[in-house]
Structure 1
């Protein structure tokens, strides 16, 4: 009877460790998928800006037709639009290029302070300062996507200081 209890206890511990490892792997896969999805939007937005000769704005999605939300939380999705009137706000004269809904799966997406919108110029550059996007899972795991002014981006698993945003919000 003692041996059976010990075997069950060991099996429970092994199962718990395996479940945690599978959860971590699933979180990393979800974050990687979202990083790839946003990277593709960066590439397409820069291409659209060059091809159309007009700035393309990426912003956190607002509700309904309102266009962009205020702030640095992109967890409700994002919008890319050709800013035909040059006011950096989605309005009737602007063309929506892509609207992506919330990432789901308990994921959140935050951008660095001071950069609530990304603007790709007609030359393909990203106006403003560098931007860092932090992807957070509900389990506290994170990844980052960094965008330079030249419109280049790179993916990283963690950002030493911005990953704290995952637990602060």
Structure 2
């Protein structure tokens, strides 16, 4: 009498455990780089948002034929937002408005609010090189009113300066984006936020 063999298809327990162990090793190696990628994307989003609003302020000044101001704001989402904030920090947000009067202060009665910039939060910090000036003014010809100096915005997180971004706006009003360790580091901002 002949015996027939039945072939079973599927995995044995040992094969399944080996596969799971290999998958766990691969995932544990990929997780740190995924976290770094998420942080880099967050920095890129914040940087691009600010560059976009700088470009918007410049183009609106030219289009409207009036001064347009980008100013930091401690609470841009307030019912009545205002310019201001602490020192040189822009992390809370900013306003873009067309100035209907001679001052640099947003007043809903005389000025036209164009955009409210609100960062998405997290560990991202945005600072500038000038602690006394809380705004970037654009004249009707699209140039900045910064007295010949270059406005510098540094965008960093806990990854360090080498992963940060820097936006430089000179007298022509055009923003220039730099990545990595900046050629012009900001004073008191060499060490970004720690987690």
TM surpasses 0.5: yes
Local SS of the residue matching 1:144: strand
Residue 35 of structure 2 corresponds to residue 23 of structure 1 = yes
Residue 83 of structure 2 corresponds to residue 68 of structure 1 = yes
Picking from 152, 159, 168, the partner of 1:132 is 152
Local SS of the residue matching 1:22: helix
Deviation at 1:166, TM superposition (A): 1.6
> CA separation in 2, counterparts of 1:60 and 1:54?
20
Higher Cα radius of gyration:
2
Structure 1 residue runs of 5 or longer lacking an equivalent are 1-7
Local SS of the residue matching 1:26: helix
Runs of 4+ in 1 over 6 A off after TM superposition: none
- Tell me which residue corresponds to 1:98: 115
Local SS of the residue matching 2:192: helix
TM-score with structure 2 length normalisation? 0.72
Q: Encode CA deviations 1:72-119: one digit per residue, 9 max, x unaligned.
A: 111111101111102011112111100022331322211112442100
Count of residue correspondences = 163
> CA separation in 2, counterparts of 1:31 and 1:47?
24
Between 62-71 and 78-87, report the one with greater CA deviation: 62-71
Residue 190 of structure 2 corresponds to residue 164 of structure 1 = yes
Picking from 14, 25, 48, the partner of 1:36 is 48
Asked whether the 8 Å contact 2:55–2:175 carries over to 1, the reply is no
